Amino acid sequence: MTGQLEFDWEHEPSFARHASRRVMLAFFDWLGENGVAKRSIPMPDHTSRQWLVFLYQAVDRPALEAWEPPEFEEE
């Protein structure tokens, strides 16, 4: 499962959302490699049945929005 992340920049704190836990784990690692230290671990959103990562610092929004999830084989 791939596809772009959804971002909610109006929420405080801002967050990214995706249906795949593996995609969010890859995004979490990428954030750390690119200087975004203040972030949550990926966690399930029981309302939307998707995964969230909260962002607790200022970020380069265009860079995050341009991030492409890796291709994963179906499990």
Show pLDDT as tens, one digit a residue, over the chain (75 residues). 467 899 999 999 999 999 999 999 999 999 999 999 999 999 999 999 999 999 999 999 999 999 998 887 655
CA distance 29 to 48: 23
SS3 state of residue 34: coil
Structural domain for 22, as ranges: 6-66
pTM for the complete prediction? Answer: 0.89
Indicate whether 1 belongs to any domain: no
In the chain, the number of structural domains is: 1
Residue 48, in any domain of the structure: yes
Residue 75 lies in a domain: no
Does residue 71 lie in a domain region? no
pLDDT at 16: 97
Q: Which of 42, 7, 35 is nearest to 21 (CA)?
A: 42
Task: Specify if 72 maps to a domain.
Answer: no
| pLDDT of 71 | 80
pLDDT at res. 73:
65
Alpha carbon distance 3, 5 (integer Å): 7
Asked, for residue 73, whether it belongs to a domain, the answer is no
